[in-house]
Amino acid sequence: MVLLDKFFSKKEEILPALDLSIFKVDMHSHLIPGIDDGSKSMDQTIAMLAKFERMGYQKVITTPHVMSDYYRNTSEIILSGLADVRNELSKLNLKIQIEAAAEYYFDDTLVERLINKEQLLVFGDNYVLFEFSFHSKPDQIEKLFFELLTQGYKPVLAHFERYLYFNDPIRLAKEWREKGILIQLNFNSIFGHYGPEVKLQAERLIDSGEIDFAATDCHHIDHLLILESNSTKSYLHKLSHLDLKNNQLI
């Protein structure tokens, strides 16, 4: 009961709906149809992009998974899918811009790519998005950071708040940011979409200010509807007041 009180006792202030156009650019999503666990069809993709546009976003940088065991996407596969989506957007006269990078899963193959000097798909100012396992802390994190940084990448760790195995995550986020590792938070973590522990961790990150990017991690339109329906929440407002780098991606 004490543990549950820890997660649920905090009463949130409800504020006026936030104008989501303040974020301008979303830099983590899965919108290229049929290549990972995101969009299943071009119709779904277009519906999501139209929703982004109605919410006030100017650009979406979509980031398909690259995972050796599940999603063996290459730069060619991703960029070909991007071209198809852009072609469909043009036909429908939608104005939102779309670019593509990737979300690289940290496994042995990612380190191999770096050692072999394989060019990774980046966005903005040489940012590269990567993720860890949700279930267990990976080994050789510092080696990964060293390889990324020495090759001139600006690493962005996806949905940091969802890695619940880290002790003292706020201190860790601060240390990593000082080294040049950037931190991305998922909007829907704030609303309890991934559970109460992740929600609490997201709130602590926002309170500490140790965040560089906020993103939808959109896999289906429900992710956008959840964000829109929670636009009055106080922690979303607090997040909007941080010096996020989303706006630099225009």
- What is residue 10's predicted lDDT score, i.e. its pLDDT? 57
How do residues 5-24 score in pLDDT, each as one tens digit?
454 445 667 799 999 999 99
For residue 158, which phi and psi values (nearest 5 degrees)? Answer: -70, 145
How do residues 36-68 score in pLDDT, each as one tens digit?
999 999 999 999 999 999 999 999 999 999 998
- What is residue 229's predicted lDDT score, i.e. its pLDDT? 98
Q: Say if residues 12 and 233 touch (Cβ distance below 8 Å).
A: yes
What residue spans of the chain are helical by DSSP H? 2-8, 42-54, 75-92, 108-115, 141-150, 169-179, 196-208, 221-229, 234-240
What residue spans of 40-153 are helical by DSSP H? 42-54, 75-92, 108-115, 141-150
Q: pTM of the full predicted structure?
A: 0.94
How do residues 126-168 score in pLDDT, each as one tens digit?
999 999 999 999 999 999 999 999 999 999 999 999 999 999 9
How do residues 210-223 score in pLDDT, each as one tens digit?
999 999 999 999 99
Q: Please, what are the domains in the chain?
A: 17-249 (3.20.20.140)
